[in-house]
Amino acid sequence: MAAVSSNKKLKTPEVVVDETWFSDPDFCRESKKWCVLSKTLGEEAAWKFAKENNIDLVSINSSTVLGPLLQPTLNETSSRILNLLNGAQTFSNFVSGWVNVRDVANAHIQAFEISSASGRYCLVESVTHVSDIVKILRALYPTLQLPESKEGEEERIVKRKKNEEWRRKSGVYDPRKVEHLYKLEGAKERLQLYKASLMEEGSFDSILDGCHGVFHTASPCFLQTKDPQSELIDPAVKGTVNVLRSCAKSPSVKRVVLTSSTASVNMNGRYRSPEVVVDETWLSEEDLNRKSNKWYVVSKILQEEAAWKFAKENNIDLITMHPATVLGPLLQPTLNETSSYILNLINGSETYPNYTYGWIHVRDVANAHIQAFEISSANGRYCLVESVAHFAEIVKILHQLYPTLQLPNRCVDDQPLMPTYQVSKEKAKTLGVEFIPLEVGLKETVESLREKNFVNF
């Protein structure tokens, strides 16, 4: 199956892979899947030679093979099961197809003996995540010591399982806006909500008493404003400093994780093209964005500057997270700014914006925040960007996901499309960020908008 399914096509529970699928050699090279690349190129060469030399060829594309070993030595696929049985503390975060060796052998024989057999054959009995393999093994061998968590998550899950020692205190201003939080699993036992105001100094003092980690995620996020100073800049800057001031008063606080944005990273006038790689060393420029009235960007620039200044002066262990445009299911019942971008596209808009954005899944953002607190070596700034794509590409993906949906077919202006660029993932990967594909984030956003009745189709 390595020569069949390794491409950029979206794979979800509803998607059916068949013999018409082909792996993409360029994708395999980019992701350094060398074994997959070898199988892809091997099949291409075989079909080319067979056609040129009139050879009756049939290709059998089996998935991960299970079953008894014929040989005395260990093969690659059996070693995956042995690792699970043999003391591994974690399992791979990986989904694979599985098939029994007897089915593979029989298929080969029948492909030779049945005269009408032709072309390619996929051999997959089940498609299952390794976590389900562990679950089945546990049911078969209840006394066996098997891994409890996937790679990169063990520290977080162990801490949560040990008497759920992560208790969450959250400061909120309007209780009506957070009623949905009480419905979350475990909220009754572990979630405490307090009334607080970002603009009121000392408002968070009592809330942070006894807290070890502070995640400051609250900052206005909208692009249109009549009064940028009071609506965007003051809550972002003064609000952040007020929270940090309360942190400085609390001896229990060990680390603060601040949600910033790529808006404070790459809005600086530097030329961006497909070859340019943005990373954590980039800084946005305040004056440039003031002149162009990009007030949200200005608020994020000033917020981060104020946060780092206060943290340095008061010896606070601060980490800033810089997510791009966030996709994925909505937790709250109301529409946020970034989800509205997608809603506009699927809800009758005739044109799409001439913009190129970075995109990231909300689960990756949440996980990165947790890991930034828990991993002691984490430090500084982290860019969180899975893909950089123009809205034209977003529309294209949405059309592939929902072929019957009426989507905009032209850009809002006649100017050349804003170029894409790259954002380094290297530092974010040290936090175990898995980078859920853009296609998955778009699909989950749309399905969430449908579920919450923002759109009906």
Distance CA 364, CA 175 (A): 27
In 3D space, the residue among 75, 77, 80 whose CA is nearest the CA of residue 63 turns out to be: 77
In angstroms, the Cα distances linking 65 to 24, 61, 96 are 23, 11, 10
Q: Where are the alpha helices (DSSP H) in 170-233?
A: 187-190, 228
Q: How many CB atoms lie within 10 A of CB 234?
A: 17
Helix (H, G, I), strand (E, B) or coil at 100: strand
Tokens of 204: 């968070």
Q: Residue 38: CB partners within 8 Å, gap ≥ 6?
A: none
Nearest 10 degrees: Cα torsion 347, 351, 352, 355: -150
| β-pairing verdict for 126-129 and 95-100 | antiparallel
Write the burial class of residue 163 (CB in 10 Å: 0-12 exposed, 13-18 middle, 19+ buried).
exposed
Report helix angle 438-451 to 391-401, nearest 10.
70
Contact 291, 229 (CB under 8 A): no
SS3 content of the chain, % helix, strand, coil (to 5): 40, 15, 40
* Backbone torsions φ then ψ of 425, nearest 5 degrees: -105, -5
Geometric angle at alpha carbon 371, from 369 and 372, rounded to 5°: 65
Q: How many CB atoms lie within 10 A of CB 432?
A: 21
Q: Which residues are known catalytic residues?
A: 300
